[in-house]
């Protein structure tokens, strides 16, 4: 249970730091670059402390390369969504994305499931739709962002599945990788993510600055440990338990923070979506 709790705290911290960085960060890509440099550096230190050689299987190398690019893209989309839609919706979608590895666990790894769990997974998708139009923060709350409900829903569903690919990569490593290679795997993954961001910055001729770099370093610590603790939890418990439990706890915590600290609006559809999210996650966890 410790790894589950640490995963929840780390994931929540990511959203909070991104929210607090709004108005302070001049260039988002600089923050993301140092976020991944920090995560990769910590992973490298953790690897050296294991006393094992820097070795990854061919499958783990391939997975780290692909996942690194996915992580870089997802974090950019996440930070952009926090600015546009507030902290609540993207953070909840990040946790609801658990339905992607859950589907994979059911249909590919043949993990046991029930009809109730299938209904719960479908309910999670409906909840994402409801929250897309019922949770308002950031530019959407201030009126700067004006998009039809259909566009908001499509954006949310796409964001959910993008996040799901990152969760799925963690599940794939848990199933196919060697656990002692975990620090090396993350060192490569986050290094590739950093390179992806750096290439984008070079293309746009963006020069790093100190304030954005410091924000990135602060972001890199929970970013690393959210993934690190997730794999540790998956190593102890089945994914059908880990993903829904982490999701439910994160949803409750992030809603409290969004409402009472950042004063984000929660309409009737949003409340219905939150309730359906909790019910769906409980159903998936049965």
The Cα 197–Cα 28 span in angstroms is 10
Instruction: Read off the pLDDT band of 197 (50, 70, 90).
Output: very high
- pLDDT given for residue 228 in this prediction: 80
Q: Mean pLDDT, to the nearest integer, of 227-251?
A: 77
Q: Would you say residue 52 has pLDDT above 70?
A: no
Q: Mean pLDDT, to the nearest integer, of 212-231?
A: 87
Strand, helix or coil for residue 135:
strand
The Cα 174–Cα 120 span in angstroms is 24
The Cα 171–Cα 242 span in angstroms is 11
- pLDDT given for residue 196 in this prediction: 92
Range of the domain at 180: 2-284
Entry pTM: 0.76
- pLDDT given for residue 68 in this prediction: 92
What average pLDDT is seen over the chain?
81
Instruction: Read off the pLDDT band of 63 (50, 70, 90).
Output: very high
- pLDDT given for residue 217 in this prediction: 93
- pLDDT given for residue 8 in this prediction: 86
Q: State the chain's maximal CA–CA distance in angstroms.
A: 55
The Cα 282–Cα 102 span in angstroms is 14
- Report pLDDT digits (tens) over 117-136: 778 777 877 887 787 777 77
Number of domains in the chain: 1
Q: What share of the chain in percent tops pLDDT 70?
A: 92
HSE-CB at 201 with a 13 A cutoff on CA atoms is 20
Q: Mean pLDDT, to the nearest integer, of 164-178?
A: 84
Q: How far is CA 228 from CA 18, 88, 181, 232, 265, in A?
A: 20, 23, 12, 6, 32
């Amino acid at each position: 249970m410790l790894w589950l709790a640490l995963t929840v705290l780390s994931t929540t911290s990511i959203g909070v730091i991104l929210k607090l960085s709004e108005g302070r960060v001049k260039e988002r890509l600089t923050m993301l670059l140092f976020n991944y440099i920090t995560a990769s550096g910590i992973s490298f230190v953790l690897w050296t402390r294991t006393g094992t050689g820097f070795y990854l299987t061919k499958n783990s190398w391939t997975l780290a390369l692909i996942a690194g690019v996915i992580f870089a893209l997802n974090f950019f989309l996440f930070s952009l969504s926090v600015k546009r839609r507030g902290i609540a919706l993207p953070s909840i979608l990040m946790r609801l994305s658990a339905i992607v590895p859950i589907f994979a666990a059911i249909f590919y790894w043949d993990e046991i499931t029930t009809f109730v769990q299938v209904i719960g997974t479908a309910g999670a998708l409906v909840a994402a739709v409801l929250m897309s139009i019922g949770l308002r923060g950031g530019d959407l709350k201030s009126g700067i962002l004006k998009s039809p409900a259909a566009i908001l829903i499509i954006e949310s569903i796409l964001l959910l599945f993008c996040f799901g690919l990152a969760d799925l990569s963690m599940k794939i490593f848990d199933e196919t990788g060697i656990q002692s290679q975990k620090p090396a795997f993350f060192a490569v993954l986050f290094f590739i993510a950093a390179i992806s961001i750096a290439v984008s910055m070079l293309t746009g001729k963006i020069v790093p600055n100190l304030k954005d770099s410091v924000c990135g370093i602060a972001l890199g610590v929970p970013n690393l440990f959210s993934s690190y603790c997730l794999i540790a939890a998956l190593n102890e418990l089945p994914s059908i338990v880990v993903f829904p439990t982490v999701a439910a706890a994160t949803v409750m915590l992030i809603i409290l923070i969004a409402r009472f600290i950042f004063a984000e609006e929660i309409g009737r559809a949003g409340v219905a979506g939150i309730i359906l999210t909790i019910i769906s996650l409980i159903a998936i966890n049965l």
